[in-house]
Amino acid sequence: MPSTRVTLALAALLATSLGGSACGAVTGEASGGEASGDEGSESASDSDSDTNMGVDTDDTTDPEPAPRRCVAPPGLGAPQTIAEALALLGALPEPVDVACVVESLDRPLAIQAITSKFSAQPANDPKSPRIFLFLGGLTLSIVLDGPGQGLLEFGERVGETESLKGELIMPVALPIPEHKPFEHLRYDEVLTTCGICHRGERPSPTIDHPNAIISRALRPSDELEVTID
């Protein structure tokens, strides 16, 4: 079963997606904020009317939202590389789990949810999809439950068609060694686990680790995209 914190954090992402699908921008604001404001105006009008009629009214307001536990320091909330993502994670309070990382990211967020089952992070079904978080130069992927729920996967853009792959088993202990995202990627003497799907593997010219591999970046098929309605 997925942890409650992970489920709530990711459900909030999906619930506030735009365009009727799970691919869109997420602001991190409460869903239906404008509607709530309109309702507040109507309540105020009703309150004035009731007061004129001599009816007692309840002036209580909604409680303040709970403070966020995982807040990125200034400048760290939108990592563009795996190294920058490690800097963000290293600045968060333990336990640093998937929900904590999602909570800390700058808004708006661009996300996409898919039903792909052929992955290190397979989606169980459309109600429990694999979710991509697009940060610009860096893409993160997560799942709510199943065998991949403890993984945070990275794809750092390299040119137009390739990316540097990495992953962390979550929650991760601090401090995080710089090569930690590459330690669990080896499949055999020829391939990493990423190379089963992402062809054209070649060593990173800038990272001194045998599993720091650049390979083809894949775009999820439109048929696999999960819609909200």
Is the pLDDT confidence value at 37 over 60? no
**Which pLDDT belongs to residue 28?**
43
Per-position DSSP letters for 66-111, written without gaps between them: PPPS--PPTT-SS--SHHHHHHHHHTSPSSB-HHHHHHHSPSSEEE
Q: Which comes out higher in pLDDT, residue 35 or 63?
A: 63
Could you identify the residue written with the tokens 């202990």? 173
Give the CA angle between residues 186, 83, 201 to the nearest 5°: 35
Highest mean pLDDT among 63-77, 84-98, 106-120: 84-98
**Which pLDDT belongs to residue 65?**
72
- Domain residues of the chain, as ranges? 4-28+70-224, 31-64
Highest mean pLDDT among 65-74, 91-100, 145-154, 216-225: 91-100
**Which pLDDT belongs to residue 182?**
95
Q: Are the C-beta atoms of 209 and 199 separated by less than 8 Å? A: no
CB-count burial class (<10 Å; 0-12, 13-18, 19+) for 224: middle
Residues pairing with 186 in the sheet: 192
Distance between start and end Cα atoms, the chain: 24
Structure tokens, 83: 């190294």
Is the pLDDT confidence value at 82 over 50? yes
Question: Any residues with CB less than 8 A from the CB of 3 and at least 6 apart, and which?
Answer: 97, 99
Per residue in 96-146, pLDDT (tens digit) is 999 999 999 999 999 999 887 767 787 777 778 989 999 999 999 999 888
* pTM higher than 0.85: no
Which amino acid would we find at residue 201? E
